[in-house]
Chains A and B, each alone.
Chain A
Amino acid sequence: MAADPRKAGPAAPRARAARRAAWARASRPWLLLAPALAVLAVLLFWPLVRVLLLSFQDYGLRQINTGESNYTGLDNYREILGDSFLWTTVLPNTVGFAATCVTLTVVVGTLVALLLQRLGRAWRAICSTAIMMAWAMPAVTGTYVWIWVFDPLNGVVSGGLDGLGLIEPRETNWFTDRWSFYAIATLNVVHHGFPFVAITVYAALLTIPRELPEAATVDGANAWQRFWHLTVPTIRPVFMVVTILSIIWDFKVFAQIYLMPGGAGANPDVLNLGVWSYIESFSRNQYGLGSAIAVLLTLLLLAITVVYVRALSKESDEGDAP
């Protein structure tokens, strides 16, 4: 977008015009982005900064009411990191639960995608509609459905097991035990999360040229070899995206835990970072402490994502090498 070269004029104004044009060129994208950035700054960046600032304060209702600040340095972080509750309960719950959910979500989603690829048109439509409904269900509704399914007294699961004579419903409660509590939560989260993986991976599978698997078959590769050495490397970027998104979603699971019986704090054994942060902030009015937990959760997520992305991109670089 330099000035018209045919219009030869004095050197100085031309240079100025060129500079101006260059500046305009550089600034135009930003100008177009400005509205979106302004919205992001107001809705996302400013709250983030506020949470960070809050995490360095002892901030309670009094401070909320008066608007004064009360900086205490790293006290909140010291309190959290020095609390054995974090290391023995909250962190293992969060990390273990997320790892299980991400693995199961990606595996189940991929299997369903492979299934979709093999189905005929009609069955594929039926199948994808069914899984889309699981996806479309709001997390809160879904959680209540699972609670009802596993209701010890009147739920379908306990009814079925009772019919088989396996359990005594009056003496059963799956929500009090940490493991069974999280087993139900895992079912809920995986059921809600796998459709996204299935649809995305299915879309990626469609991009693999038909000749590749055919050639592999001719070369004598079996189904597993075709999947592992051909399909997976070809659509690796898609796996990367769905895994990272799943990690982010499953680490910050809140409603699915908070709404379960005992999940809102009555049973401290089942707290995860998200619920713990909420309870500290809104049930105990310790907004500073709650913010510090939220910041830690964010940092943890960032760290995991960075490590994961680096590992994967390195791997794919090596994979691409001849």
Chain B
Amino acid sequence: MRQSPRGRSPFSLLSRRRRLLAGAAALSLGLLTACGGDGDDGSDGGGPTLEVWIMEGTNPDAEPYVEALEAAFGEETGALLDVQFIQWADAHDRFTTAMAGGELPDVAEIGTTWAAEFGAAGALADLSGSIDEAGLGDDLVPGLIDAATVDGSVYGMPWYAGIRSLMYRADVFAEHDLQPPTTWDELREVALRLRDLEPDMIPFPVSGGSEYGLYPFIWGAGGEIAERDGDGWRSTINSPEAVEGIEFYTSLATEDGLSVAAAETWLETDQLESFQNGQAAMVVNGNWTVNTLIQADPAWAEQVGVVPLPGQESGFSPSFVGGSLLGEFTSDEPELAWRLIEMMTTGELAAQWADQSGYFPGQQSLLEEVQGEEEPLVAPFARQMLEAGAALPVTELYGQVQGEQIVQGMLQRILSGDQSPQEAADEAAAAMDETFGG
């Protein structure tokens, strides 16, 4: 457009305008297509391609596993895999946006609590038929399969599991000749002794931001978080048993001074950090963190001890069985998708994944094998899972309760002294019921 702007005929002006128009259109189109430029890339092979999403970081070095999986799957079915790693932190948002955009993968790893949620939304396929056909139904870790089962439909196949137990500083305990607790009273006593013996340490941090540290005490006292009530759910977190558990757990901080005020807003990761930097003496944390500790400093292998969470009078307090399921997001190739899920969740590849990631396999028989090896930092967790594992209320509404952080809010109000355990539990129950009812 180097022409002088003056003195041209309407004709050239017209063509100029056209050029401008075309230019503008091309520009906008270019921008539009640049935004939406995603075609099918897997067009090189012969067979179909399955898109698979796996969470990043569970397995520190996942490449060899993925290669083995691709090879085995390709050999058996001739299909290709497009494996993508996504971050736990934004995975939930990724799934919802993919849902909105119709870009869901064929098979994906999902958190146990999402099965009910995405299942109710109609995004996940029911796998119960395939599981029965394969005869796998009886060999799945109960806490995991329970979490995936809604009204007889199974929205995910247990892949790997994790559980929290009581981790303690074995070296400190040995130095003072202390024994890890086996009942709640012993837990309080040993923590009180630690408070006197090791004044710079935090005997037992009670983290306000971690709901999973509290649940064992609710379940251990015989309480429940919520129960089925006809078609819906009703919170029972303010029942006498549940409140007894809440009271015991929080009194360790509020009455016995076994925690610190900072822990009122700690998340589980902050609690682990305080254990790792030598401040906390006992924490409720997951089996996967043992690997993290030892990887950071091999000396931890000698310093950390694990026991199942002590029961109120005897036995163990149940702990939440967390972990991952493999779900099929209504794939175009349901048979291939199931074949892949089966391959990943059973047998050699499942054991390999669990071993590499520091988690437990979701198959009961494989889990028993792990327990049989009697590894001191693994077996107590496995025992907790087999003998005292529990599931959260299986409803997509409990996902909302967690999203609202109702339990954490309750904990923080008790720990900061704003409310008594009963008051806070009543308020939490009311908030949960509002969510269940809405």
User: Which residues from chain A sit less than 8 Å from chain B, CB to CB?
Assistant: 1, 3-4, 17, 20-21, 24, 27-28, 31-32, 34-35, 38-39, 42, 60-62, 64-67, 151-153, 169-173, 175-177, 261-262, 264-268, 279, 282-286
A31 to B26: give the CA distance in the assembly, Å: 12
CB distance from B275 to the nearest CB of A (A): 13
Count A-B contacts at CB 8 Å: 141
Contact B405 A20 (CB under 8 A): no
B20 within 8 A of A: yes
B408 within 8 A of A: yes
- Residues from chain B with Cβ under 8 Å of A282 in the complex: 92-93, 96, 403
B118 within 8 A of A: yes
B117 within 8 A of A: yes
Across the interface, A35 reaches (CB within 8 A) one of B28, B121, B208, B404, namely B28
Across the interface, B123 reaches (CB within 8 A) one of A27, A65, A284, namely A65
Contact A20 B10 (CB under 8 A): yes
A54 to B412: give the CA distance in the assembly, Å: 33
B7 within 8 A of A: yes
- On whether A1 and B17 interact (CB within 8 A), knowing A34-B28, A265-B409, the answer reads no
Contact B412 A285 (CB under 8 A): no
Contact B400 A283 (CB under 8 A): yes
A31 to B18: give the CA distance in the assembly, Å: 10
Contact B28 A39 (CB under 8 A): yes
- On whether A64 and B121 interact (CB within 8 A), knowing A151-B262, A266-B209, the answer reads yes
User: Looking across the interface, which residue of chain A has its beta carbon closest to that of B28?
Assistant: A38
User: Looking across the interface, which residue of chain A has its beta carbon closest to that of B114?
Assistant: A61
A267 to B14: give the CA distance in the assembly, Å: 64
CB distance from B169 to the nearest CB of A (A): 18
* 7 further interface pairs, Cβ-Cβ under 8 Å (given A20-B14, A31-B17, A152-B262): A39-B31, A61-B120, A152-B260, A175-B264, A261-B209, A266-B409, A267-B265
- On whether A266 and B260 interact (CB within 8 A), knowing A42-B32, A65-B123, the answer reads no
Across the interface, A176 reaches (CB within 8 A) one of B14, B403, B412, namely B412
Across the interface, B412 reaches (CB within 8 A) one of A27, A67, A267, namely A267
- On whether A3 and B209 interact (CB within 8 A), knowing A31-B17, A265-B405, A284-B404, the answer reads no
Contact A61 B28 (CB under 8 A): no
User: Looking across the interface, which residue of chain B has its beta carbon closest to that of A61?
Assistant: B121
Across the interface, B35 reaches (CB within 8 A) one of A42, A61, A64, A176, namely A42
A26 to B112: give the CA distance in the assembly, Å: 60
- Residues from chain B with Cβ under 8 Å of A65 in the complex: 99, 121-123
- Residues from chain B with Cβ under 8 Å of A39 in the complex: 28, 31
A112 to B261: give the CA distance in the assembly, Å: 37
Contact B405 A264 (CB under 8 A): yes
Across the interface, A24 reaches (CB within 8 A) one of B6, B7, B13, B25, namely B13
Across the interface, A170 reaches (CB within 8 A) one of B27, B209, B261, namely B261
Across the interface, A175 reaches (CB within 8 A) one of B265, B399, B402, B408, namely B265
B21 within 8 A of A: yes
CB distance from A2 to the nearest CB of B (A): 11
A266 to B10: give the CA distance in the assembly, Å: 68
A177 to B261: give the CA distance in the assembly, Å: 12
Contact B99 A35 (CB under 8 A): no
User: Looking across the interface, which residue of chain B has its beta carbon closest to that of A268?
Assistant: B409
- Residues from chain B with Cβ under 8 Å of A151 in the complex: 262
Contact B27 A35 (CB under 8 A): yes
CB distance from B123 to the nearest CB of A (A): 5
CB distance from A83 to the nearest CB of B (A): 11
- On whether A283 and B403 interact (CB within 8 A), knowing A153-B262, A170-B261, the answer reads yes
A64 to B266: give the CA distance in the assembly, Å: 34
- On whether A21 and B121 interact (CB within 8 A), knowing A153-B260, A170-B260, the answer reads no
Across the interface, B6 reaches (CB within 8 A) one of A1, A66, A176, A286, namely A1
- On whether A284 and B403 interact (CB within 8 A), knowing A17-B10, A66-B122, A266-B408, the answer reads yes
CB distance from B105 to the nearest CB of A (A): 14
A282 to B95: give the CA distance in the assembly, Å: 11
A141 to B125: give the CA distance in the assembly, Å: 40
CB distance from A240 to the nearest CB of B (A): 34
A137 to B7: give the CA distance in the assembly, Å: 53
Contact B262 A61 (CB under 8 A): no
B416 within 8 A of A: yes
